[in-house]
Amino acid sequence: MHRELAGRLIDPHTLARLTALADLDPGLVLDDFGTPEARAALADAEVIVSGWGCPPIDEEVLDAAPRLSAVIHAAGSVKHHVTEACWRRGLQVTSAAWANALPVAEYTVAAVLLANKRLLEIREEYRLRRAPHDWQLAYATAGNYRRTVGIVGASRIGRRVLELLRPHDLDLLLHDPYVDPAEAARLGARAVELDELCAASDVVSVHAPELPATRHLIDGRRLALMRDGATLVNTSRGSLVDQEALVREVSSGRLDAVIDVTEPEVLPADSPLYDLPNVVLTPHVAGSLGGELHRMAAAAADELARYTAGLPFAHPVLAEDEHRTA
Please indicate whether residue 67 is annotated as part of the active site: no
Q: Per the residue annotation, which of 73, 81, 118, 237 is the catalytic one?
A: 237
Pairing verdict, β 47-50 and 190-191: unpaired
Q: Which residues, listed in sequence order, are joined to residue 258 by a DSSP beta bridge? A: 233, 280
Q: Per the residue annotation, which of 216, 284, 306, 324 is the catalytic one?
A: 284
Please indicate whether residue 284 is annotated as part of the active site: yes
Q: Per the residue annotation, which of 39, 166, 265, 323 is the catalytic one?
A: 265
- Asked if 116 contacts 142 with a C-beta cutoff of 8 angstroms, the reply is yes
- Asked if 61 contacts 35 with a C-beta cutoff of 8 angstroms, the reply is no
Question: Minimal CA–CA distance to 5: which of 69, 45, 54?
Answer: 54
Residue 203, pLDDT above cutoff 60:
yes
Residue 7: predicted pLDDT: 57
**pLDDT per residue as tens digits for the range 211-237:** 999 999 999 999 999 999 999 999 999
How far is Cα of residue 263 from the mean position of the Cα atoms in its chain? 15
- Asked if 30 contacts 81 with a C-beta cutoff of 8 angstroms, the reply is no
Q: What whole-number percentage of the chain has pLDDT above 90?
A: 85
Residue 322: predicted pLDDT: 64
Q: What angle do CA 7, 12, 17 make, to 5 degrees?
A: 115
Alpha-carbon dihedral angle through residues 18, 23, 27, 33, given to the nearest 10 degrees? -110
Strand, coil or helix: what is 68?
coil
For the chain, what is the mean pLDDT? 93
Residue 23, pLDDT above cutoff 90:
no
Beta strands in the chain (DSSP E): 47-50, 70-73, 92-95, 148-152, 171-175, 190-191, 203-206, 231-234, 256-259, 279-281
pLDDT band at residue 1, thresholds of 50, 70 and 90?
A: very low
Please indicate whether residue 265 is annotated as part of the active site: yes
